A = this chain, B = another copy of it.
């Protein structure tokens, strides 16, 4: 019988799920990174910044909100926004309601860059993940990982 001090190791099914998650995540990131960089000169992170800004009202978000959505550190975001600003895809504005605040805003050029990069990216996500799975698998993935994410978000706060 299992010792009370001994941790509960992962059984084969659990290990397969965990390993599958880690491996798929790494492989996907590598592949998408390569495609985006070659095809649009953008990193995945930069692409996601453009996506979130584009989806936000006014094409703009405060730095902290953006960092939350991206699941990245504040300093990491500062760096990437600076890069995008140099490239002319994003502009920094000051926040009216908070002197400390900085608002990142998508420029017209940024919108254009996103419009140009999106099709290839989405097509690859489809080819590598979405179209490989059945409708049921996708639903389970969405719900399960949604729960996982929600729990993790709570722990931060």
Interface of A toward B, CB cutoff 8 Å: 7-10, 13-14, 16-18, 20-31, 48, 70-72, 118-119, 122-123, 125-126, 128-130, 132-133, 135-149, 151-153, 155
Chain multiplicity (copies): 2
Taking CB atoms, residues of chain B closer than 8 Å to A129 are: 17-18, 21, 148
Closest CB in chain B relative to A51 CB, distance in Å: 10
For A27, the closest partner residue in chain B by CB is B152
B30-A71 in contact (CB<8A) = yes
The one of B48, B133, B148 in contact with A144, judged by C-beta atoms closer than 8 angstroms, is B133
Closest CB in chain B relative to A31 CB, distance in Å: 6
A144-B144 in contact (CB<8A) = no
What is the CA–CA distance of A149 and B28 in the complex, to the nearest angstrom? 8
Chain A residues touching B, majority SS: helix
What is the CA–CA distance of A19 and B22 in the complex, to the nearest angstrom? 16
A132-B148 in contact (CB<8A) = yes
The one of B13, B24, B25, B138 in contact with A138, judged by C-beta atoms closer than 8 angstroms, is B13
Closest CB in chain B relative to A84 CB, distance in Å: 19
Closest CB in chain B relative to A66 CB, distance in Å: 14
Known: A137-B144, A140-B137. A149 touches B30 (CB 8 A): no
The one of B16, B26, B140, B151 in contact with A71, judged by C-beta atoms closer than 8 angstroms, is B26
B8-A146 in contact (CB<8A) = no
Taking CB atoms, residues of chain B closer than 8 Å to A28 are: 148, 152
B10-A141 in contact (CB<8A) = no
Taking CB atoms, residues of chain B closer than 8 Å to A135 are: 13
